[in-house]
Structure 1
């Protein structure tokens, strides 16, 4: 068990360094390994949350950010689900709880996702662009 903890600690440090160099995909992969090795690590959820949001922000749909992926909700999610998920992510990303590199940007992305997805007009326009992009890519 102590061996797993030490190896996990090493993996968590590597993930934090990758996060600092903006390798969010690599940081996510290594952080998940650290979590598997020793699930009780402090700040592992904060690290993973930053990675998940930043990785989602890289994937664009027709030059739009994928707000559903950023917020980690289904496209069918209602306002209650969106707000609840926002609160959960904001808790893990808040500067008082998370001083990791990329956390502040991730919090801004999550806030913007909530703003767009909770505004009926903005969400409708976004969904139309998203559907158009999906059909346009599929038909090629």
Structure 2
């Protein structure tokens, strides 16, 4: 399950992922994300929040496919990934290694990082 929304004024993409994803669902999600971003002319320096609070740890095949798609994605100005799970944090940190990416605990922290550059609280 996924949901994608755009706030054009802030060049902000907010993605909410939920449940255990399949490789095929990752492909559909990433294709829709690409189409949505293109429709909003977000080709670089956009801000991205990925809310995975409702996601369990994903299979290695799903993580590998996400990594493949991310390698071809346009570069974001800032990324925040939201999770409350310490296990998910470990998986997310391996996937999002960009210096402009942060793993946060709340949507408020995510917005503060991607929109204002405020460092999140250490977790």
Give the alignment's TM-score, normalised by structure 2. Answer: 0.30
Give the alignment's TM-score, normalised by structure 1. Answer: 0.27
Structure with the larger helix share: 1
**Structure number with bigger Rg:** 1
